[in-house]
Amino acid sequence: MKKVLSFMTALALLITLFISCEDHTSTSSLRIQIEQSSITRGSSRTLSPAEDELKVTSYRFSAEESTSRTTSEKSTYTSVCTLDGLYPGKWIVKAYGVNQAGKDISYGSTETELKEGANNVVIVLNELVGTGSFSLTLKWPKEQIKEPKITLELKDNEGEDVEISSPSI
């Protein structure tokens, strides 16, 4: 009796799993190619982190199916990556440029409709925007400077002047 009951339970579970699973008989592969934006190819800044902190040394890729939230991730040291075994449908593809310290320094994404078989996308990576601070300390003998004055000028990435508050002395 126990054997029959165990067999019936196992059979019921198999039938339930078979019926409830989506039919994904065909698969796709996605070849992702990175293209650096003109901004990340060589920005000129007066104040910037050390050069190695701004250099992309590896890439992290992810693809997420829009309907079932199926995801695929891969990291590489090259700017081309292939994700295999993806199901046809709409996918959101993301790519990150990673520096030597493992920090994401650039990002790009695209949405694509995968067809059965091989598919290709190109993603343009742009700098991640962040915040920072700058501190400057000047020391001089009081008797040498009658009226101290500091002039600051700040320009954005496009070379436009950025308004700054007056420094306090």
Question: What pLDDT does 66 receive?
Answer: 80
Residue with tokens 């995801």: 71
Residue 19 has pLDDT above 80, yes or no: no
Lowest mean pLDDT of 1-5, 38-42, 48-52, 91-95, name the range. 38-42
pLDDT band (50, 70, 90) for residue 159: confident
The structure tokens listed for 159 are: 């070379």
Q: Which residue has the tokens 């292939």?
A: 82
Domains of the chain plus CATH, in order, are 26-127 (2.60.40.10)
6-10, 91-95, 142-146: the lowest-pLDDT one? 6-10
Average pLDDT, the chain: 76
pTM value is 0.58
In this predicted model, which residue has the larger pLDDT, 18 or 121? 121
3-state helix, strand, coil in the chain (%, to 5): 15, 40, 45
